[in-house]
Amino acid sequence: MHESLNNIDKHELDKFARLSEDWWDPNGALKTLHIINPLRLSYIDNAVSLNQKKVLDIGCGGGLLTEAMESKGAYVTGLDANESAITVAREHANLSHKKIDYVAYSAEQYALDNKKIFDVITCMELLEHVPDPASIFSACADLLKPGGDIILATLNRNVRSYMSAVVGAEYILGLLPRGTHDYSKFIKPSEIATELRRLNFNVVDISGMHYVPLINRCFLGDDTSVNYLLHARAVDG
C-alpha cells in the first residue's frame, strides 16, 4: 500500500511551474538538462534497448527525455504532477509530431489503474524533489512488468555534492536557479539500493554522471559522489 497518493511537495511544484517557459530553451534556466540529455538517453538505450519498448517517464517535466526516447522507437508515456509542465510537453510534442501520451498525475495515482504494463520506467532528477522517494519506488514496482527495468538519476548526499550541486551550480556559477535543490532531500545510492532490493529489484549498475561547466560537456564515470544514474531490474516471477 502506498503511503500517499499525493507524494508531492507543493513548494517544489510551484517552483518548477514558474520555469515552464524554459523547458525547451537550450540557453535558459534549464540549460544543463539540455546538455546532459544525450548522455542520459545513451545510458538508458544501452541498458535496455528502447526500440519497441513500452516506457513510462516519471517526472517528465516538459518532455526533453520523453521525446528523445520516442525518437529511439519507444512507446512512451510522460507522467508529471505539474500540469503546467505537461501542457508544455503536449504542445511541443504536437509541434514535433511525436506520439506521446502525457498524463498530469503522481506516480502513485497512476499506478492504481496501470498495473504491470511497462517494460521500462525512467525517473530522472525527480527523487530529490519529492517528500517520500520510497513511495515512488513502490509505485514503480506496481507499474513494471516482471523483469522490467527502472533507471533513476539523482544526487548523492555528502559534503561534495552540497558544494557542487548547491553552492557551485546555484550560487557561484548560476547554472541553475537558486533554491532548485534542497540538500536534505539528496539520496545516497545505498539508500536507493536498499529500498529497491526490498521490492525485489536487482541493482544492475550505478554510474556517476559528471558535468564540466566551463566546456559544457558531460560524461559517465565511476565516481558517484555527486550526480549518479542507477539501473535496476525487477525480479522475474
The domains located in the chain, with CATH, are 10-156+186-234 (3.40.50.150)
Provide the pLDDT for residue 16: 64
- Over residues 153-176, the mean pLDDT reads 81
Q: Which residue did the predictor score with more confidence, 54 or 27?
A: 54
Secondary structure E strands in 29-74: 54-58
d(CA 46, CA 19) in angstroms, rounded, equals: 31
Provide the pLDDT for residue 17: 64
Closest CA to 79 of 47, 42, 114: 114
Closest CA to 122 of 39, 233, 44: 44
Strand partners, 153: 124, 229
- Over residues 24-43, the mean pLDDT reads 92
Predicted TM-score (pTM) of this structure: 0.89
Angle (CA) 125-129-135 rounded to 5° is 95
Q: How many CB atoms lie within 10 A of CB 177?
A: 16
With 80 as the cut, is the pLDDT of residue 224 above it?
yes
With beta carbons less than 8 A apart as the criterion, state whether 154 and 161 touch.
Answer: no
pLDDT band at 1 (very low <50, low <70, confident <90, very high): very low
Closest CA to 7 of 79, 113, 62: 79
With 90 as the cut, is the pLDDT of residue 168 above it?
no
Provide the pLDDT for residue 14: 65
Provide the pLDDT for residue 6: 66
With 70 as the cut, is the pLDDT of residue 40 above it?
yes
Provide the pLDDT for residue 61: 93
Provide the pLDDT for residue 2: 39
Provide the pLDDT for residue 202: 97
Closest CA to 42 of 196, 180, 153, 161: 153
Provide the pLDDT for residue 184: 84
Pick the range with the lowest mean pLDDT from 11-15, 51-55, 230-234. Answer: 11-15
Residue % of the chain over a pLDDT of 70: 92
